[in-house]
Amino acid sequence: MKIICVTGACGVGKSTMRDFVGERLDEKLFACIDTDECGINWHDYANTDHPEGYANAYLAEAVRRAAGRTLVLFGCTNPMDYITKNTIPDEVEATYFVTLVADDEVIRERLLARPAERGFNEGNIPPHIEYNRWFRRNRGKFPLQLDTGKLSQEETADRIAEFAKHL
């Protein structure tokens, strides 16, 4: 099976894209899954000696749910960690990264607009902006990068779906 990781910093629109892309792909061929849907709690792994266990667990669960279909996985999957730290299930033949980015101010506005229980404030937004900048700097290292601050949700979803269909 193939995995398409739709990734980027918090606030670029990954979870929003899950439904938009899912509407454009045949569910017999593709499984669109957000890492948040996998029932794995990051806090069970944070501050342990194996924080990468979180990604391993949601990856294994998403692959299981995909059941052989191409998995379009929406979440903060770090490409460097995916290759160097994660245990990639044997069923996975190839992985492709689609990166979503946005301007710093767009990310700041989106994160501050989230409900208070999500815990975003001016003090903890800078690391997310830096992570977004890392994706921008490494643009050419991924087969597709889309700026969700410049494209509509529909345009972004169309491009992701077309990319998936042509793999």
Q: Which CATH number characterizes residue 106's domain?
A: 3.40.50.300
Instruction: Provide the whole-model pTM.
Output: 0.94
Q: How far apart are CA 132 and CA 53, in angstroms?
A: 23
Residue 145 confidence (pLDDT): 99
Q: Which two tokens stand for residue 115?
A: 């409900």
**Degrees (nearest 5) of the Cα angle 26, 32, 34?**
165
Sheet arrangement for strand 30-34: 30-34, 70-74, 2-7, 94-101, 144-147
- Which range marks the domain in which residue 15 is found? 2-165
The shares of helix, strand and coil residues in the chain, as percent rounded to the nearest 5, are 45, 15, 35
Per-residue pLDDT of the chain (167 residues; tens, 9 = 90+): 999 999 999 999 999 999 999 999 999 999 999 999 998 887 788 778 777 888 999 999 999 999 999 999 999 999 999 999 999 999 999 999 999 999 999 999 999 999 988 889 999 999 999 999 999 999 999 999 999 999 999 999 999 999 999 99
CA nearest to 71, candidates 91, 54, 56: 91
HEC profile for 33-48? Answer: EEHHHHCCCHHHCCCC
Total number of domains constituting the chain: 1
pLDDT at 130: 98
